[in-house]
Amino acid sequence: MVRIAIPRAMSYYYLYPFFKTLLSDMGAEVTLSQPTTKATLENLSACPTDEPCVAVKLYFAHVQQLLETDCDYVFLPKLIRVEKGSYCCPKFIGIPDMVKTAFHLEDRILMPRIDVQNQESMLQDLAQLADHLGLNKKDLSKHLQHGWEVQQRVSSLMTNHGLTVEEAYRIFDGSLEEKPHAKSSEVLPCTIGLIGHPYVLYEWISHDLPSRLRRYGNVITPEMVETTFIREQMKQIFEGERLWTFEAQMLGAAFHLMKNHLVDRLILVGLFECGPESIIEPYIETLAEEMNIPLLKLFMDEQTGEAGLVTRIEAFMDTAVDKYEKTKKINPPAPSLAPGIIPKNPIIGFPSMGRLDIIIHSILKECGVEAIRPPAISRRSIELGKELVPEFVCLPLTATLGQMIELLEKGVNGFLMVGGKGICRLGWYAQIQDMLLKRKGLSFDMTILDSPFPLKQNGASFIHAVKKITNGASWSTIGKSIWLAYYKLQLLDQAEELLRKFRAYEIKRGQADRIFSKFQTKVDQLFSHRELSRLNKDFIEEMHSIAIEETEPLRIALVGEIWVLLEPFVNLEIERFLGRHSDVRVLVEREISVSHWLQGNLFHTPAAKARTRAVHAAAAPYLTEQVGGHGIHSVGLSILAAHEGVDGVIHLMPFTCMPEIVAQSILSQVTEQLDIPILSLIVSDQTGEAGFETRLDAFLDLLLERRYEKTQRGVDNGILYRY
């Protein structure tokens, strides 16, 4: 019989009954890794990078443990969607590929897709798995159905009897027919809501937190709350049904417990650098304030000490009121995106991303809307945002929130933000910003512009948002303004590409920058296709008049998260620093841009579609799934760069960015396998210019040394290479 092992980490805590039942029905013997101990924490270095949360690092450690046993295969499912309409977070989607690449193993790792929204694809994956293992592939649909039924039965044990995941799993591994003890009728001094992922609450790193809290009173965790109650709560949040599934369980449970006065205190437990947790934290904190419920936030990692944790719990339980004074609100409104009142004289503001402010301002101006451009992101922007945001939220949200505060100071009374719920946090920015600013007492109207596709589902809301933000302009005016703005965007992106090239060759450094700056100013001022076309022609001629020197610059590709790539203050002017380096000639190549994104995701131009296929094909041996943002592009473009003769790759990512953490883990292995230097730079509000430039200088020295060695090898072989 084929022995298949499951790591006792992450997805195990959510779907172990489903996994075990499905694999057993297919004819396999299922085993588990040993529970986490202090010794397990000593093997976290199996994870190739430091950025993932400790849950991901533990996953690597458990897989390493299993690979040292006599199991035939390790089961690492890719959790895409376990509920229709919502994704799992990027780490659940990407971790199988991260592990596969890190351990250089494919023959012992099984990675089927779990996507309930694409049943056919899931069945195909399982059929291929069964063929490969010689297992029973008949009645796979029935096996899947049986697996979900068993999973539901185990979940019902938790909700009906107040059991933790651990307690329910012990019954499952013994006999599902065994009846748990009835709930105690003892009156306990208080009831504590304990909100957190089970792979945190029941792991070694929590130092037996649920049991410790039971000494103080009754403890209710998310898995003990019925799914119907959770869904009812999530429906009250704007697009709440599209929140990541496991985070929705946490948030919906917290709302249900607080709004129905079922808990006296609430403890929110998260991991350092947990992206999804940073989104649900403001919701929970806001409602806890409204309901007058004491809230303790605990963040854990592998360094969390037991003594400090116990001290914090004791202090919280001693200082929080024994019985909170129940507010008279029976059902207070959930913090959500309020529709707001459209001001009579709207003054619209919007955060920036590269030169997108020129484009948005152009559209609004042509539609007759008064708009104020965002000030360039600065230290002040980031500091203003930091005062309001959760600790581990991503830098783009922090900085753009700060810009919004600056815009409100300038008289803005309405904001335009993009939306679209997907895998990364971007789709939740508008709601979180709306909530945090209004908690500060600021007044404004927020308009979210989401994708119009699919039209049947999103068309009406998109039309309403467009009409609202353009102050009811005619469709003819709106269409002309968008077309003109898109033309400006293309000109600016093409001009910037030319700028990067001439920086690498110009004799008089800075000449290309001065020509481009003048061109950008005029693009902003003109509102005629003919005048813009003439301006572009003059710009190209002026650029080509620059005196250049004959040289072979280093070619460096920039990949990473789009906002960081496009915001000069945040990336410390990396393109200018490299392109105008005093000692080394560098040709910077950056494919990611706003027009590139629009062509690939909105207009679907043939060239963009072909390039996307090429990027995905290049990434496929290492990363097989979309993990949100530009994660798969970071991997695919880096691999293409290696094949296209680029000297090195610089990977830029904001601190805690989930898709780029997945990409970074894989790129740490790609650099060795494809023999191309890749430098990952993580930017945060603490990033210093001196250290940043020192790392870049060291990277340039490495690339020059490699080029010299290649030249020497060419000469030694009697071949003259010209670099």
Convert the pLDDT of each residue in 634-665 to its tens digit.
Answer: 999 999 999 999 999 999 999 999 999 999 99
The pLDDT tens digits for 21-77 are 999 999 999 999 999 999 999 999 999 999 999 999 999 999 999 999 999 999 999
Contact 415, 447 (CB under 8 A): yes
- Among residues 321, 263, 320, 318, the alpha carbon closest in space to that of 287 is found at 263
Q: Indicate if the pLDDT at residue 499 is higher than 90.
A: yes
Q: What is the pLDDT of residue 721?
A: 41
- State residue 336's pLDDT score: 43
Looking at the structure, do residues 486 and 520 belong to the same domain, yes or no?
yes
Q: Name the burial class of residue 112, with classes exposed (0-12), middle (13-18) and buried (19+) by CB atoms within 10 angstroms of its CB.
A: buried
Domain co-membership, 88 together with 218: no
CATH of the domain at 653: 3.40.50.11900
**pLDDT value for 338:** 43
For the stretch 388-410, pLDDT in tens is 999 899 999 999 999 999 999 99
- Are 521 and 390 found together in one domain? no
Does residue 562 sit in the same domain as residue 711?
A: yes
Query: What's the pLDDT score for residue 716?
Result: 57
Q: Which pLDDT belongs to residue 184? A: 54
The domain that holds 105 is classified in CATH as 3.40.50
Mean pLDDT, all residues of the chain: 93
**Hey, how many other C-beta atoms are within 10 angstroms of the C-beta on 44?**
19
- In degrees and rounded to multiples of 5, residue 223 shows phi and psi of -70, -10
Task: Decide if 676 contacts 710 (C-beta within 8 A).
Answer: no
Of 432, 456, 473, the position where a domain reaches its end is 473
Residue 631 included in any domain: yes
Tell me what pLDDT residue 287 has: 97
Q: Please report the DSSP string for 198-253 in residue order.
A: HHHHTSGGGTSHHHHHHTTSEEE-GGGS-HHHHHHHHHTSTTGGGS-HHHHHHHHH
Indicate whether 130 and 47 sit together in one domain.
yes
Q: How far apart (Å, rounded) are the C-alpha atoms in residues 302 and 55?
A: 9
Task: Please give the average per-residue pLDDT across 303-311, as a whole number.
Answer: 95
Token pair for residue 135? 């297992």
List phi, psi (to 5°) of 458. Answer: -110, -10
- pLDDT bin (cut points 50, 70, 90) of residue 187 is low
- Are 7 and 43 within one domain? yes
With a cut of 50, say whether residue 328 has pLDDT above it: no
Tell whether 558 and 571 lie within a shared domain.
Answer: yes
Query: pLDDT value at position 330?
Result: 45
pLDDT of residue 717: 58
Q: Which two tokens stand for residue 134?
A: 């010689």
How many domains in the chain?
Answer: 5
Identify the sign of the CA torsion 464, 465, 471, 476: negative
Q: What is the pLDDT of residues 588-633, one digit of tens each?
A: 999 999 999 999 888 889 999 999 999 999 999 999 999 999 999 9
Rounded to whole angstroms, the Cα distance separating 685 from 708 reads 37
Question: Are 710 and 664 part of one and the same domain?
Answer: yes
Instruction: Please check whether residues 461 and 494 belong to one and the same domain.
Output: no
Q: What percent of the chain has pLDDT over 70?
A: 93
Pairing verdict, β 370-372 and 445-449:
unpaired
Does residue 569 belong to any structural domain of this protein?
A: yes
pLDDT tops 90 at residue 333: no
DSSP conformation letters of 512-571 = HHHHHHHHHHHHHH---HHHHHHHHHHHHHHHHTS-B----PEEEEEEE-HHHHH-TTTT
- Which of 550, 578, 606 is the endpoint of a domain? 550
Q: Which domain holds residue 247?
A: 184-319
Please identify, among 473, 495, 525, the residue that sits at the C-terminal boundary of a domain: 473
In a domain, 8, yes or no: yes
- For the segment 676-697, the average pLDDT, to the nearest whole number, is 96
pLDDT band at 211 (very low <50, low <70, confident <90, very high): very high
pLDDT at 454 over 60: yes
Report whether 63 contacts 7 (CB < 8 A).
Answer: yes
Q: How far is CA 114 from CA 78, 139, 144, 668, 682, in A?
A: 6, 17, 10, 26, 31
Largest CA distance in the chain: 89
Please report the pLDDT score of residue 343 as a whole number.
Answer: 64
> Nearest Cα to 659, choosing from 615, 625, 621, 619?
625
Any domain includes 178: no
Per-residue pLDDT tens over the stretch 338-365: 444 556 789 999 999 999 999 999 999 9
Categorize the per-residue pLDDT at 138 as very low, low, confident or very high, splitting at 50, 70 and 90.
Answer: confident
Q: What is the mean pLDDT of residues 129-133?
A: 90
Q: Which two tokens stand for residue 606?
A: 């043939």
Above 60 in pLDDT, residue 692?
yes
Task: Indicate the residue type of 439.
Answer: R
Higher pLDDT, 294 or 458: 294
Task: Give me the pLDDT at residue 42, please.
Answer: 93
- What's the whole-model pTM score? 0.94
Q: How many CB atoms lie within 10 A of CB 702?
A: 14
Are both 194 and 146 inside the same structural domain? no
In a domain, residue 179? The reply is: no
Does residue 11 fall inside a structural domain? yes
Flag whether 14 is in a domain. yes
What is the rounded average pLDDT of the residues 158-179? 86
Q: Per-residue pLDDT averaged across 426-450, rounded?
A: 95
114 and 224 share a domain?
no
DSSP of 69-111, one letter per residue? SS-SEEE--EEEESBTTBPPPHHHHHHHHHHHHHHT--TTEE-
Whether residues 78 and 124 fall in one domain: yes
Handedness of CA 167, 173, 174, 180 (dihedral sign): positive
Q: How many CB atoms lie within 10 A of CB 310?
A: 13
Q: Is 332's pLDDT higher than 90?
A: no
Q: Does 167 map to a domain?
A: no
